[in-house]
C-alpha cells in the first residue's frame, strides 16, 4: 500500500511540474478562445484609452478577423490512407490495410473530429489524437474495437523541457473531463465523494459541476521496456498497469502458470515417467509420447510395451489451478499466446496446434504452439501541429499572429461609431437666461433684439471618416496577408484577377502559403494510421470484414486478420510483419470536389480515354466511375447498361451461330456441285445411295459442331 501511495505522489508531482511550465499556456489558450468568439475588450493604444477607474474600454462592434481567416482555411476533407510495403510480395497485404483503414474512417466519427480539429489546430497551434483499444465494444463475432479521440491542448500535461516530439519524452499526462458514474462503470471504484479538480478543461470559464470529475491518465516508459499506465482522480488510484500494452492473461498466483482454457488437455495420467532413463532415442521418445496420448494409428500395439496401466486424458473444466490447486488468479503480462487448434492463414502459412510433449515432472502432456504477442510499444498520442516552431512543443497560433490587427480594427471601429453617433446639428446662442426655447418641433427661439438674434447660429457636425476607413482597410489586408489568404482563396470578388486563369493563379498562391499546414495535417494522419494498424495487430483476435470498391465500381468483400501478418523464419521463429510505410493519398482533396471530378470524368469519356464513347462497355466503365464519385442515379444507369450489354452479347452470339450455319450450308452445296457429273461423262455418275449418305453425314457433322447433338 505504501508503494502505491508513493507512486501516486510521484505522478501528482509530475502533474504539478507540467502545470508550472504550461500553466501560462492555458491562460493564453483561454484568451485565444475569447478572441475567436469575438472579444470586445480593447487593448489601450493611446493615452486615455482606459476608463476613469483604470479598466479597459470595450467596443460595441466587432468584425472578427480571427474567426474569418481561420474559417477560410477550414477543410472538410479527411486524408485517406496510403500504405506502401517495404518488401516485395506484400502488396496484397498493403491493400488490405488500406481497405481496413478506410472502413475505420467511416466507422469512427472522423467527420466531427476533423471539423473540430480544423478549428482547434490553427487557433491553439496544435491538437492531439489518442489511439486506444476498447475491449468493451463487442459484437456477436468480434471482441474490441479501435478507439480514436481528439484531444484539446488544454488536456495536455507533457513533460517539461522536451519540445521536439512526444516520442522523446519519458512521461506524459492526459486530462479527461468525465462523470463520476462513468468512472465507476469503467474502473469499478466509487468516486462520489471526489470533486472536479480542473473544470477549465471542459471549456473557457466552465463552472464546477457536482457530478463531474477530472480524470488523469499518465503514460511513462517502463524500466524493462514498454509503457506503463497510471490513472487517478484526486487522491484515488483507479488503475496501475506496468507495460500496459502487453497482452494479459489470468495466471495462478501460487505457481505462476497460465490458467488453461476450458476443455484444454492439461496432462495424461498414463504418462511414461517409468520409462528407462537410458533411452535417449528422440524418435522412440516421440513415439512413446504419441502412443500414450493416443494420437498414433498403431497406438494399441505401442501401449503394450509401456510400463503404464491405461491412457486417460485430463482436461481443465474450470475451478482451481490444475497444477497446484491454487484458487487465486491474477492478470499478468504474457509474452506469447497458445494456439490449441491448428489452422492455415490466408497467406497459406500452416500454424500447428497442440503437440505431444513432457511437463516438468516428466508427464506426457499436449503442449500448445507458442506465438509471441505483438506489442505496439509506442506512445498512444499523435500531435497535429499547425506550423512548427523551434523550441515549442505546440505549433504557432494564427490568433497570436493577427491579434494586434484585431485589436486595432476594434479600436478604429469604435472610434468611427462614436464619431457617427456624435455627429449632427448644434445651435449656438447668446449666454442669456431670458432667451426662451419652444419645445415644439418648430423649435422657436424668443430673443429680445436683433443683436442677440445675430449671435444665434446653426453648426453641422458630419464627422469626416476618410482616414479611419482607409486605415481600417489597411489593417484588414494586413491580417489576411500575414496568413497568406487572398480574395480568390476566400471565393470573394477579386478585382486584381481579370480572367479565370488569373483567379486560379491567385488561389494557388494562397494555397502555397498554406501548404505547410496541410503537410503537417497529412503527417499527423499518417502517424495516426500507423498507430491504428499496430493496435489492430496487437489486440484483434478475430477476422474483421472489409468492403471496398474495385476498378469497376463494384463493392467487394473480404476479411482481414492479424494472422495474415504472421510469418516464420528459417529457424522456425514466429514474427509479425509490420514492415509497411504509412502516408496519405494526395489525390483525396481532389476526390472530395465531386463536381470537378464529374467534369473531369466526362472530359475523359468525350476524349476517348475510356475507349469508344458509343460502346456500351465504355459507357459502363464511365458510369462505374461516376458511381464511385457518388453521382446521382449513376448506379441505376450502370445497371441498365449492363443489362443492355448482356442483350447485345446474346444477339451477337445468335448472329454468329446463324453465320456458321450459313457457312456450313454453303460448304455443303459446294461439295454437292463438285460431285455432280459433267455432260460428257454420264457413265461415271455417282450412285444416288452414296449421295444420300454423304448428305446425311454432312448434316450430322454440322449439328455436332453447333452442339445440337452429342459427338459420337
Of 201-205, 244-248, 556-560, the poorest mean pLDDT is in: 201-205
| Type and span of the H or E element at 357 | strand 355-358
pLDDT at 307: 41
Dihedral of alpha carbons 362, 366, 368, 369, sign: positive
Give mean pLDDT, residues 606-610. 82
Determine, yes or no, domain membership for 347: yes
Pick from 172, 173, 68, 175: nearest CA to 123:
68
pLDDT at 337: 86
Is the pLDDT at 292 greater than 60? The verdict is: no
pLDDT at 3: 46
pLDDT tens for residues 482-499?
888 776 666 665 555 555
- Which residues partner with 516 through β-bridges? none
Is the pLDDT at 656 greater than 60? The verdict is: yes
Confidence of residue 329 (pLDDT cuts 50, 70, 90): confident
Q: HSE of 646 in the Cβ direction (CA atoms, 13 Å)?
A: 6
What are the distances in angstroms from CA 25 to CA 42, 56, 393, 487? 21, 23, 11, 33
Is the pLDDT at 34 greater than 60? The verdict is: yes
Of 192-201, 513-522, 628-637, the poorest mean pLDDT is in: 628-637
pLDDT tens for residues 433-482?
566 666 555 566 666 677 777 777 776 667 778 888 999 999 999 998 88
Is the pLDDT at 124 greater than 80? The verdict is: yes
pLDDT at 685: 53
Confidence of residue 679 (pLDDT cuts 50, 70, 90): very low
DSSP assignments along 277-323, one per residue: TT---HHHHHHHHHHHTT-STTHHHHHTTSS-S---EEE--SSS-TT
pLDDT tens for residues 594-605?
677 777 788 888
DSSP assignments along 502-563, one per residue: HHHHHHHHHHHHTHHHHHHHHHHHHHHHHHHHHHHHHH--S-EEEEEE-TTS-EEEEEE-GG
Is the pLDDT at 131 greater than 70? The verdict is: yes
In this structure, are residues 80 and 125 in contact, taking their beta carbons and an 8 Å threshold?
Answer: no
Taking the C-alpha atoms of residue 24 and residue 337, their distance in angstroms, rounded to an integer, is 48
Is the pLDDT at 561 greater than 90? The verdict is: yes
In this structure, are residues 176 and 217 in contact, taking their beta carbons and an 8 Å threshold?
Answer: yes
Determine, yes or no, domain membership for 521: no
Domain that holds residue 315: 250-372
- What is the number of structural domains in the chain? 1
In this structure, are residues 610 and 621 in contact, taking their beta carbons and an 8 Å threshold?
Answer: yes
Taking the C-alpha atoms of residue 117 and residue 152, their distance in angstroms, rounded to an integer, is 9
Determine, yes or no, domain membership for 290: yes
State the Cα torsion 588-589-591-592 to the nearest 10°: 120
pLDDT at 441: 52
- Which residues partner with 58 through β-bridges? 41
pLDDT at 585: 83
Confidence of residue 589 (pLDDT cuts 50, 70, 90): low
Is the pLDDT at 278 greater than 60? The verdict is: no
462 vs 547, higher pLDDT: 547
15-20 contacts: CB < 8 A, separation 24 or more? 15/157, 15/173, 15/216, 15/218, 17/159, 17/160, 18/157, 18/158, 18/159, 18/160, 18/173, 19/157, 20/160
State the Cα torsion 11-15-16-19 to the nearest 10°: 170
507 vs 367, higher pLDDT: 367
Is the pLDDT at 300 greater than 80? The verdict is: no
pLDDT at 557: 92
- Which residues partner with 670 through β-bridges? none
367 vs 149, higher pLDDT: 149
How high does pLDDT run on average in the chain?
Answer: 80
Confidence of residue 709 (pLDDT cuts 50, 70, 90): very low
Is the pLDDT at 584 greater than 70? The verdict is: yes
Determine, yes or no, domain membership for 344: yes
Sole residue written with cell 489518442: 130
Pick from 682, 343, 358, 680: nearest CA to 543:
343
Give mean pLDDT, residues 513-526. 88
pLDDT at 279: 42
Confidence of residue 533 (pLDDT cuts 50, 70, 90): very high
pLDDT tens for residues 368-414?
888 999 999 999 999 999 988 888 999 899 999 999 999 999 999 98
pLDDT at 511: 58
Pick from 542, 413, 432, 401: nearest CA to 73:
401
Determine, yes or no, domain membership for 337: yes
Q: HSE of 116 in the Cβ direction (CA atoms, 13 Å)?
A: 12
Residues 6+ apart with CB under 8 A from 237: 4, 7, 8, 230, 231
Give mean pLDDT, residues 58-87. 91
Determine, yes or no, domain membership for 63: no
Dihedral of alpha carbons 539, 543, 546, 551, sign: positive
Q: What is the pTM of this model?
A: 0.74
20 vs 552, higher pLDDT: 20
Determine, yes or no, domain membership for 301: yes
- Which residues partner with 239 through β-bridges? 231
Residues 6+ apart with CB under 8 A from 227: 219, 220, 221, 243, 244, 245, 377, 378, 379
Determine, yes or no, domain membership for 351: yes
Is the pLDDT at 100 greater than 90? The verdict is: yes
In this structure, are residues 572 and 351 in contact, taking their beta carbons and an 8 Å threshold?
Answer: no
Confidence of residue 104 (pLDDT cuts 50, 70, 90): very high
Amino acid at each position: 500500500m505504501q508503494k502505491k501511495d508513493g507512486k501516486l505522489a510521484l505522478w501528482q508531482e509530475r502533474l504539478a511540474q507540467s502545470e508550472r511550465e504550461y500553466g501560462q499556456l492555458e491562460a493564453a489558450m483561454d484568451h485565444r478562445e475569447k478572441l475567436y468568439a469575438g472579444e470586445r475588450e480593447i487593448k489601450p493604444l493611446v493615452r486615455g484609452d482606459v476608463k476613469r477607474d483604470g479598466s479597459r474600454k470595450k467596443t460595441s462592434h466587432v468584425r472578427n478577423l480571427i474567426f474569418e481567416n481561420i474559417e477560410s482555411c477550414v477543410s472538410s476533407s479527411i486524408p485517406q490512407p496510403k500504405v506502401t510495403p517495404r518488401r516485395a510480395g506484400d502488396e496484397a497485404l498493403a491493400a488490405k490495410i488500406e481497405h481496413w483503414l478506410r472502413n475505420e474512417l467511416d466507422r469512427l466519427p472522423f467527420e466531427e473530429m476533423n471539423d473540430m480539429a480544423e478549428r482547434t489546430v490553427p487557433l491553439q497551434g496544435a491538437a492531439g489524437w489518442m489511439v486506444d483499444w476498447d475491449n468493451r465494444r463487442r459484437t456477436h463475432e468480434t471482441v474490441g474495437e479501435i478507439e480514436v479521440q481528439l484531444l484539446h491542448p488544454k488536456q495536455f500535461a507533457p513533460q517539461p523541457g522536451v519540445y521536439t516530439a512526444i516520442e522523446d519524452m519519458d512521461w506524459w499526462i492526459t486530462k479527461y473531463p468525465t462523470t463520476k458514474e462513468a468512472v465507476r462503470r469503467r474502473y469499478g471504484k466509487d468516486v462520489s465523494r471526489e470533486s472536479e479538480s480542473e473544470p477549465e478543461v471542459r471549456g473557457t470559464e466552465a463552472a464546477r459541476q457536482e457530478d463531474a470529475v477530472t480524470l488523469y491518465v499518465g503514460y511513462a516508459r517502463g524500466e524493462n521496456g514498454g509503457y506503463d499506465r497510471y490513472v487517478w482522480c484526486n487522491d484515488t488510484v483507479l488503475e496501475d498497469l506496468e507495460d500496459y500494452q502487453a497482452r494479459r492473461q489470468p495466471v495462478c498466483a501460487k505457481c505462476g502458470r497460465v490458467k488453461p482454457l476450458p476443455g484444454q488437455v492439461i496432462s495424461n495420467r498414463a504418462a511414461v515417467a517409468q520409462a528407462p532413463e537410458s533411452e535417449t532415442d528422440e524418435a522412440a521418445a516421440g513415439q512413446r509420447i504419441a502412443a500414450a496420448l493416443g494420437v498414433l494409428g498403431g497406438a494399441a500395439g505401442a501401449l503394450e510395451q509401456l510400463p503404464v496401466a491405461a491412457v486417460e486424458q485430463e482436461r481443465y473444466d474450470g475451478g482451481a489451478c490444475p497444477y497446484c490447486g491454487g484458487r487465486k488468479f491474477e492478470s499478468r503480462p504474457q509474452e506469447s499466446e497458445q494456439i490449441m487448434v491448428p489452422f492455415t492463414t490466408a497467406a497459406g502459412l500452416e500454424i500447428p496446434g497442440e503437440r505431444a510433449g513432457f511437463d516438468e515432472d516428466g508427464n506426457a502432456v499436449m503442449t500448445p504452439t507458442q506465438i509471441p504477442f505483438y506489442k505496439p510499444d509506442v506512445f498512444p498520442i499523435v500531435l497535429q501541429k499547425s506550423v512548427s516552431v523551434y523550441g515549442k512543443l505546440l505549433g504557432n497560433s494564427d490568433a497570436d499572429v493577427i491579434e494586434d490587427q484585431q485589436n486595432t480594427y476594434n479600436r478604429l471601429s469604435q472610434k468611427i461609431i462614436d464619431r457617427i453617433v456624435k455627429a449632427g446639428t448644434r445651435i449656438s446662442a447668446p449666454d442669456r437666461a431670458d432667451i426662451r426655447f419652444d419645445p415644439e418641433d418648430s423649435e422657436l427661439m424668443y430673443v429680445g433684439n436683433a443683436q442677440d438674434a445675430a449671435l444665434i447660429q446653426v453648426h453641422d457636425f458630419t464627422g469626416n471618416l476618410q482616414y479611419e476607413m482607409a486605415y481600417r482597410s489597411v489593417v484588414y489586408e494586413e491580417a489576411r496577408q500575414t496568413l497568406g489568404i487572398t480574395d480568390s482563396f476566400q471565393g470573394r470578388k477579386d478585382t486584381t484577377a481579370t480572367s479565370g486563369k488569373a483567379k486560379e493563379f491567385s488561389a494557388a498562391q494562397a494555397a502555397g502559403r498554406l501548404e505547410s499546414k496541410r503537410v503537417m495535417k497529412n503527417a499527423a494522419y499518417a502517424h495516426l494510421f500507423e498507430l491504428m494498424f499496430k493496435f489492430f495487430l496487437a489486440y484483434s483476435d478475430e477476422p474483421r470484414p472489409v468492403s471496398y470498391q474495385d476498378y469497376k465500381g463494384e463493392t467487394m468483400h473480404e476479411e482481414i486478420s492479424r494472422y495474415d501478418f504472421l510469418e516464420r523464419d528459417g529457424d522456425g521463429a514466429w514474427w509479425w510483419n509490420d514492415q509497411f510505410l504509412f502516408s496519405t493519398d494526395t489525390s483525396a482533396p481532389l476526390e472530395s470536389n465531386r463536381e470537378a471530378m464529374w467534369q473531369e470524368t466526362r472530359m475523359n469519356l468525350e476524349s476517348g480515354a475510356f475507349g469508344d464513347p458509343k460502346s456500351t462497355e465504355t459507357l459502363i466503365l464511365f458510369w462505374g466511375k461516376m458511381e464511385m464519385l457518388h453521382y446521382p442515379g449513376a448506379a441505376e444507369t450502370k445497371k441498365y447498361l449492363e443489362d443492355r450489354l448482356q442483350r447485345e452479347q446474346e444477339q451477337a452470339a445468335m448472329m454468329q451461330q446463324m453465320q456458321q450455319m450459313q457457312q456450313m450450308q454453303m460448304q455443303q452445296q459446294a461439295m454437292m456441285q463438285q460431285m455432280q457429273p459433267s455432260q460428257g461423262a454420264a457413265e461415271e455418275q455417282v450412285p444416288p445411295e452414296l449421295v444420300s449418305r454423304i448428305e446425311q453425314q454432312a448434316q450430322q457433322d454440322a449439328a455436332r459442331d453447333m452442339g445440337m447433338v452429342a459427338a459420337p
